[in-house]
């Protein structure tokens, strides 16, 4: 910025207001970002962070308020204009095209020549430099959530933005990769790039950000210097009350075997999928076992094999509650007492266009909702209402459509729906992905309670803190194989991080004897 | 004699398949942008009558084609206003357009019903048309037959090799994402709809000016609908559209030949007339069973109204 002093803010917004038919999403929001500043925007789901970012990025237009870019009042009528100004955004709900390849997706967002091979090379360079490994030739629909996020980040970085907006960017990275990303962001900031960093991970914000603006209910409730705060004080600004403490409690006596994988091998139809090799795992009642790993290492395939969405050839390699189930479909596995919370909420965990009552019916129909082949809507509705009340789901009632709920609230509903079926075995993937701190801590708390009541719980997550918080034992998945298990109390983030790159003791001779889980 | 016969069957097959290719490729582009325009039958009908009228008055078939194209674009503009700007349901808008187009063309075409048009001379391609059997069938053809081949190649190149085509597919895949990275979804969809309309109009013009050279009410005879199903069963891939179109054309010619040959056929004529439709759909259903290819090629937002998030 040769013509500008450091005092001119890169971006200043004043009095932004955006009203939707049912809610005031932003109410007089002010925010200033200086050149080279990493500025955190904190807030619970529904606090108005996403709306505000969309206003800045030109996806939606504010009803009132001013946007001042490098000292000039501007209107940002569309994202193309935002990009022309030098604003880049990594979305939380990805804006990728599933049937296109990574390089095509990136090409769509970049102006200039349409030279895919050259672009693929640039993608490889950037992904190498910033530790965001991804193959440019792969189709996006075959990528995991974590890999898709890498594509989004790379796509943004290739546009050389002067303001980079990141919405929950670290959720799916290994601790090592987070450190690498932070290095990248600090480097970008030192080069004068401003960064708006939306996150609910308070420790990260403390480590990374220079300043934080806290939103609650569409209003700014304060700005602070994260270095001078504690996660506790910031959480209080954000949710207006203290977080419930999460007590872990001692694991009970060794429980009954509920899930057993005995040398599970599973090839994949997907040319880009991961083949599962010799997976051995035991989950007993009264314990929470966590599977850590960088996304795309076989988590999706493993989940499908456990949930029954894919049957396995050798049906003795998957056992539940003392039965071979490898050949059974999800409904029959659920009948044995398995419940399952998938990674994608809309479309797999819940049907977007159905009401919460109807969504409850989809998996909880064994709770007396059927009678002679007919639906007892009263029972289903009562179940949904119970679930809403018990799990504090903020919504317009049991008759609201699933897609009208915010991510965190829908997740609370889905997890609640499964917990209320008193499962013998509960399998969850990314239970708190994109969920705000309050709801995440609530979900974890509910899982611990469920464990104490004797359920066997398997959690597949890419968020290590979460696994360390709730799991009794942990294993790591890398390249389709599973590490031996370790008690959470006997390991640490460093060791698990190492394992996540496939380097666990005995990893080299893993082809021989199965690991004893 | 036998070879001549084969050659003439092949010739007729190509002619019968050509309007389907043109219309289906236009619809394919429209659908790839995520818009389901069920109005092809109506657009073809209006295109056919407009082309016939202009060709009749000007004695110039080329102007006829242009008129058919313009009429097709006008019709699809109506659809665009309703489905894209006013955000009406695409299926309902398209169906209404079809019904309107068929009726309107019959009304406008009344005075032309007993008029004959001079048939348009064939265009031989130098050298190639001298190849035995294939030459007379493929390279001594109506000009629009060559056009349909060029169109196929151009559209395939556009969709899979050019950036504009990539953008079009992106809009059809996820209009919300396309909007969020800054593409004018509605504008791109309008262009695709207009292109589809222009092609359907040309397809209609081919029917009335080249294929039969005359105008009869209802002469499009469901070809618009067949073109629509060709697109779906060809899993939105241009080459398969061509295969399907010629398959339909071939069956059409065969059944006409069987019916016209005077051979003692015990099968009812109605069944024979229905055969091309049934056979085409059956074969295409069989070759399009692979779930993977459907997922990869079908535009995910097809038929959904795009409501910008603002």
Q: What is the structure's pLDDT at A111?
A: 76
Helix (H, G, I), strand (E, B) or coil at A467: helix
pLDDT tens for each residue of B52-71: 999 999 999 999 999 999 99
- How much is the pLDDT for B168? 95
Position A516 scores a pLDDT of 35
ipTM for this model: 0.79
Furthest-apart CA atoms within chain A: distance in Å: 77
- In this prediction, residues A465-472 reach a mean pLDDT of 89
Q: Which of B182, B188, B294, B295 to mutate to test the interface with A (most CBs of A within 10 A)?
A: B182
Q: For an interface test with B, give the residue of A93, A105, A108 to mutate (most B CBs within 10 A).
A: A108
Residue predicted with more confidence, A296 or B199 = B199
Q: Could you tell me if B163 lies within 8 Å of chain A, comparing CB atoms?
A: yes
Query: Does A171 score more than 70 pLDDT?
Result: no
Q: What is the DSSP letter of A240?
A: S
Judged against a pLDDT cut of 60, whether residue A508 lies above it is answered with no
Residue B85 forms contact with A (CB below 8 Å): no
Token pair 């965001």: residue:
A132
Count of C-beta atoms within a 10 Å radius of residue A354: 15
CB contact A20 to B (< 8 Å): no
- Give residue A300's pLDDT: 87
For the ranges A152-156, A439-443, B5-9, B201-205, the one whose mean pLDDT is highest: B201-205
Overall residue count recorded for chain A in this entry: 517
Q: How far is A420 from chain B (nearest CA, A)?
A: 35
Which pLDDT value is given to residue A307? 93
Of the two residues A248 and B51, the one the predictor is more confident about is: B51
| pLDDT beyond 60 at A515 | no
| A156 interfaces chain B, CB cutoff of 8 Å | no
Q: What is the reported pLDDT for A517?
A: 33
pLDDT at A231 exceeding the cut of 70: yes
| Distance in Å, alpha carbon of B198 to nearest chain A alpha carbon | 27
Question: CA geometry: angle at A514 spanning A510 and A516, to 5°?
Answer: 115
Residues in B touching A82 (Cβ below 8 Å): 182
- Distance of alpha carbon B18 from alpha carbon A327, whole angstroms: 50
- What's the number of CA atoms in the CB half-sphere (13 Å) around residue B275? 19
pLDDT score recorded for residue A510: 44
Give CA separation, B300 vs A258, A295, A463, B204, in Å. Answer: 39, 25, 31, 29
Global pTM reads: 0.72
Average pLDDT for residues A4-10, to the nearest whole number?
A: 70
Instruction: Please tell me if residue B167 touches chain A, with a CB cutoff of 8 Å.
Output: yes
> Above pLDDT 90, what percent of chain A?
37
Q: Return the minimum-mean-pLDDT range out of A40-54, A329-343, B228-242.
A: A40-54
**pLDDT exceeds cutoff 50 at A187:** yes
C-alpha closest to that of B15 among B121, B119, B138, B118: B138
Q: In order along chain B (310 residues), what is the average pLDDT of each group of 10 residues?
A: 82 93 97 95 97 94 96 97 93 96 95 86 87 86 93 96 93 88 90 97 95 89 91 88 90 83 72 83 76 76 77
Mean of all residue pLDDT scores within chain A:
85
pLDDT at A513 over 70: no
**Token couple for A74:** 């501007």
Element (DSSP H or E) covering residue A497: helix A493-500
């Amino acid at each position: 910025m040769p013509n500008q002093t450091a005092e001119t803010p890169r971006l200043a917004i004043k009095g932004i207001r955006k009203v939707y038919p049912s809610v005031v999403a932003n109410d007089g929001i002010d925010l200033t970002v200086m050149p080279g500043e990493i500025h955190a925007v904190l807030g619970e789901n529904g606090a108005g962070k996403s709306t505000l970012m969309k206003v800045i990025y030109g996806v939606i237009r504010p009803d009132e308020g001013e946007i001042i870019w490098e000292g000039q009042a501007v209107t940002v009528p569309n994202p193309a204009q935002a990009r022309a100004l030098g604003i880049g955004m990594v979305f939380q709900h990805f804006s990728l095209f599933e049937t296109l390849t990574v390089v095509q997706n990136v090409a769509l967002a970049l102006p200039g020549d349409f030279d895919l091979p050259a672009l693929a090379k640039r993608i490889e360079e950037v992904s190498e430099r910033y530790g965001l490994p991804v193959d440019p030739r792969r189709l996006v629909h075959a990528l995991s959530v974590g890999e898709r996020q890498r594509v989004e980040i790379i796509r943004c970085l290739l546009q050389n933005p002067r303001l980079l907006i990141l919405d929950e960017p670290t959720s799916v990275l290994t601790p090592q990769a987070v450190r690498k990303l932070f290095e990248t962001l600090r480097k970008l900031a030192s080069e004068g790039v401003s960064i708006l960093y939306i996150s609910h991970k308070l420790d990260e914000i403390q480590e990374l950000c220079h300043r934080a603006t806290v939103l609650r209910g569409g209003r700014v409730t304060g700005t602070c210097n994260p270095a001078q705060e504690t996660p506790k004080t910031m959480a209080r600004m954000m949710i207006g009350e203290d977080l419930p403490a999460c007590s872990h409690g001692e694991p009970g006596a060794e429980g009954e075997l509920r899930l057993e994988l005995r040398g599970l091998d599973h090839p994949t139809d997907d040319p880009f999928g991961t083949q599962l090799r010799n997976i051995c795992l035991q989950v007993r009642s009264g314990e929470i076992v966590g599977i850590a790993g960088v996304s795309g290492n076989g988590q999706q395939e493993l989940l499908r094999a456990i949930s029954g969405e894919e049957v396995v050839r050798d049906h003795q390699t998957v056992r539940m509650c003392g039965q071979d189930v490898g050949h059974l479909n999800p409904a029959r596995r659920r009948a044995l007492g398995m419940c399952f919370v998938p990674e994608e909420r809309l479309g797999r965990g819940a049907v977007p266009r159905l009401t919460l009552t109807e969504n409850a019916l989809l998996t909880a129909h064994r709770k007396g909702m059927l009678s002679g082949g007919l639906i007892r809507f009263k029972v289903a509705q009562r179940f949904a209402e119970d679930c809403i009340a018990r799990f504090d789901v903020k919504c317009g009632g049991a008759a609201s459509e699933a897609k009208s709920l915010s991510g965190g609230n829908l997740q609370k509903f889905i997890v609640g729906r499964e917990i209320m079926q008193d499962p013998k075995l509960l399998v969850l993937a990314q239970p708190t992905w994109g969920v705000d701190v309050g709801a995440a801590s609530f979900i974890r708390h509910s899982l611990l309670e469920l464990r104490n009541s004797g359920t066997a719980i398997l959690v597949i997550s890419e968020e290590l803190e979460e696994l360390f918080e709730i799991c009794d034992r942990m294993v790591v998945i890398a390249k389709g194989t599973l590490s031996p298990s370790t008690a959470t109390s006997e390991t640490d983030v460093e060791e698990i991080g190492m394992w996540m790159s496939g380097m666990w003791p005995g990893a080299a001779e893993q082809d021989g004897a199965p690991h004893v889980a | 004699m036998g070879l001549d016969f084969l050659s003439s069957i092949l010739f007729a097959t190509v002619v019968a398949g050509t309007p389907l290719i043109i219309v289906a490729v236009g619809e394919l582009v429209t659908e790839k942008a995520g818009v389901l325009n069920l109005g092809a039958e109506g657009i073809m009908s209006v295109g056919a009558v407009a082309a016939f009228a202009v060709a009749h008055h000007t004695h110039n078939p080329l102007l006829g084609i242009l008129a058919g194209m313009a009429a097709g674009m006008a019709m699809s503009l109506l659809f665009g206003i309703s489905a894209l700007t006013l955000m009406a349901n695409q299926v309902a808008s398209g169906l209404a357009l079809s019904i309107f187009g068929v009726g309107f063309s019959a009304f406008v075409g009344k005075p032309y019903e007993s008029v004959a048009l001079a048939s348009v001379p064939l265009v031989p391609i130098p050298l190639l048309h001298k190849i035995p059997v294939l030459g007379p069938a493929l390279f001594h053809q109506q000009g629009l037959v060559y056009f349909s081949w060029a169109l196929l190649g151009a559209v395939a190149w556009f969709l899979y090799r050019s950036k504009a085509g990539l953008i079009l597919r992106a809009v059809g895949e996820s209009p919300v994402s396309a909007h969020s990275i800054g593409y004018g979804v509605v504008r791109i969809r309008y262009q695709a709809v207009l292109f589809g309309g222009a092609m359907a109009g040309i397809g209609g013009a081919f029917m009335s000016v080249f294929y039969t050279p005359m105008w009869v009410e209802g002469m499009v005879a469901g070809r618009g609908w067949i073109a629509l199903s060709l697109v779906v069963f060809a899993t939105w891939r241009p080459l398969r559209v061509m295969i399907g179109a010629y398959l339909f054309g071939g069956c059409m010619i065969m059944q006409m030949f069987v019916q016209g040959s005077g051979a003692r056929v015990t099968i009812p004529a109605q069944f024979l007339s229905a055969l091309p439709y049934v056979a085409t759909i059956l074969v295409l259903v069989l070759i399009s069973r692979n779930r993977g290819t459907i997922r990869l090629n079908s535009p995910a937002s097809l038929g959904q109204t795009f409501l910008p998030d603002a």
